[in-house]
Amino acid sequence: MIIAVDGPTASGKGTIARALAAHFGLPVLDTGLLYRAVGYQTQLGHGDPDNAADALAACDFPDTLLDDPALRYESTGGLASRVSIHPAVRKALFQRQVDFANQPGGAVLDGRDIGTVIAPHADAKLFVTASPEERARRRHAEMRARGVDVTYDAVLADVHARDARDTGRADAPLLRADDALLLDNSEMDINEAIAAAIAFVEERVRRPS
């Protein structure tokens, strides 16, 4: 069984994907982590994430980089959004994601183009979202809890900027697949969102389209 979980930044899609993987006993891949690794590697190599050649060169990052805590930094997320607009970068990481999705037994993948590009044949697809204001509120609270001194307005501006880059890029933009469940969790807590996602997948498996 392949489960695709797409959505914008700070929507909770990663948490939901991990919960689905645990519930159904499937491996999970945070595809955004691959782009974070490329963005971070670009920075480590003193390259420009807005330069396609620099970003492509960074796709040859060591696997050990995926375990670096720095990939979870807010600044690294911004780098990931910038390198992901380059078609050459997306092409370089494409096969790695496809192979993960098509492994025996299936998998859960979360990202921004899983249901539309990486695994359009997925058995169940979810598009997880929330209002920009709610996503910024959650991200701001997380950052403040980690001791990061940042204003809500700055986080909200970053959310809007990432959304614009993700939906506006020419190659594999952030889109909801036609057959994906729209899971807007603006008014839900995480447990409610997870329960809704599990219920949808279970129903989808029982009644495939």
Give the pTM: 0.86
Helix (H, G, I), strand (E, B) or coil at 158: helix
User: Are the beta carbons of 140 and 16 closer than 8 angstroms?
Assistant: no
Q: Which domain holds residue 123?
A: 2-202
**What mean pLDDT comes out for the span 80-104?**
93
Whether 171 is in a domain gets the answer yes
CATH number (domain holding residue 86): 3.40.50.300
Whether 209 is in a domain gets the answer no
Whether 207 is in a domain gets the answer no
* Number of compact structural domains in the chain: 1
Whether 208 is in a domain gets the answer no
pLDDT digits (tens, 9 = 90+) for 147-196: 989 999 999 999 999 999 889 988 889 999 999 999 999 999 999 999 99
Please choose, from the candidates 3, 24, 17, the residue with its C-alpha nearest in 3D space to the C-alpha of residue 177.
Answer: 3
pLDDT digits (tens, 9 = 90+) for 4-59: 999 999 999 999 999 999 999 999 999 989 999 999 999 999 999 999 999 999 99
Whether 105 is in a domain gets the answer yes
**Which residues, including other chains, have CB under 8 Å from residue 202's CB and lie 6 or more apart?**
none
pLDDT digits (tens, 9 = 90+) for 140-151: 999 999 898 999
